[in-house]
Amino acid sequence: MLLIPNKDNDKKVGSLYSITNLKVSDVNLPIHYNKRFCGCSFDWLSFVTKSSFVILFNPFRNKIINLPQLERHRGYRRNAKQCTIQKLTLSPDPSEDSDCLVVGIFGEYSNLVFMKLGDESWTYEDHVHGELFSNVLYYKGQVLTIDHRSELISLDVSINQKNVLAPRDLEYAYKTYLVETSNKDLLQLWRFFESFVAGGKV
């Protein structure tokens, strides 16, 4: 399903569009729709507010989980107006397991941030000159990430251990995505840009 604006442009109501059934369903959102949307895991939508709080919302159970505020001084320049999460994933479903880990890609330098539900604050991995991450996904019991070299990495944040599962085997891509299919297969997608110069395409 895709999260889209509703037809009346009501910022408190969003719409879920089913690609397979070609059907639109409206849902009441716990926050205004114009807040930063940063991912979906196990039917939980994740948002970051303007004041840098993270909210998890399950539209099917009508449940909300409020997470701690992100620290503005980490991962951003001093004049940054808002800090946010680029992508967030959960492991496992917080509706079924209270020992849920929340992992996100955070800040201008694409570092990792994580916490367990019930923690009072986030834990930050600041590797400004080290590994930068472009995507994160919980898949079959593992937290998987894509680093700036487009390598697939299995991550254990509790002991700060990273294992390379698949090295880069294509030319440099602008951005790499991890996608789980409806058949539970894992796909790695590469996004490229074409450069145009006078007289032709590079």
Q: How far is CA 95 from CA 47, 62, 92, 109, 158, in A?
A: 18, 12, 9, 32, 22
Confidence (pLDDT) at 146: 85
72 and 91 housed in the same domain? yes
Same domain, yes or no: 62 and 133: yes
Q: 84: domain range?
A: 36-201
Claim to verify: residue 29 and residue 102 sit in the same structural domain: no
Q: 13-60 pLDDT, tens per residue?
A: 778 888 888 998 888 776 665 578 888 888 898 988 888 889 999 888
Higher pLDDT, 82 or 44: 44
Is 19 in a helix, a strand, or coil?
Answer: coil
| Residue 130 confidence (pLDDT) | 52
Domain match, 90 and 18 both: no
CA 24 to chain centre: 23
CB atoms closer than 10 angstroms to residue 164: 12
Q: Which residues contact 116 (CB under 8 A, 6 or more apart)?
A: 99, 100, 101, 102
Tens of pLDDT, residues 95-149: 888 789 999 988 877 888 899 998 999 988 765 445 678 889 998 888 898 887 7
* Listed range (63-67, 88-92, 197-201) with the worst mean pLDDT: 197-201
- Range from 27-31, 148-152, 169-173, 176-180 carrying the lowest mean pLDDT: 169-173
Q: How many domains does the chain have?
A: 2
Reported as a single tens digit per residue, the pLDDT across 146-165 is: 887 778 888 887 767 788 88
* Co-location of 75 and 58 in the same domain: yes
Please name which of 39, 45, 66 lies closest in space to residue 120, comparing C-alpha atoms. 66
- What is the C-alpha to C-alpha distance for residues 145 and 72, in angstroms, rounded to an integer? 24
Asked if residue 40 and residue 30 are part of one domain, the reply reads no
Task: Say if residues 53 and 68 touch (Cβ distance below 8 Å).
Answer: yes
CATH code for the domain in which residue 163 is found: 2.120.10.80
Q: Count the alpha carbons within 13 Å of 144 in the hemisphere toward its beta carbon.
A: 19
Asked if 63 and 19 sit in the same domain, the reply is no
**What are the contacts of 181-187 at 24+ separation with CB within 8 A?**
184/140, 186/137, 186/139, 186/144
Tell me, yes or no, whether 84 and 168 share the same domain. yes
What is residue 120's predicted lDDT score, i.e. its pLDDT? Answer: 92
Do 42 and 30 share a domain, yes or no? no
Could you tell me if 78 and 116 lie in one domain? yes
Q: Which candidate, 132, 112, 131, 130, places its Cα nearest to that of 122?
A: 112
Residues 6+ apart with CB under 8 A from 139: 178, 180, 186
pLDDT band at residue 66 under the 50/70/90 scheme? very high
Do 121 and 88 lie in one domain? The reply is yes
pLDDT value at position 163? 85
201 has pLDDT over 60 = no
Residues 73 and 5 in one domain: no
pTM comes to 0.78
Pairwise CA distance, residues 193 & 182, whole Å: 28
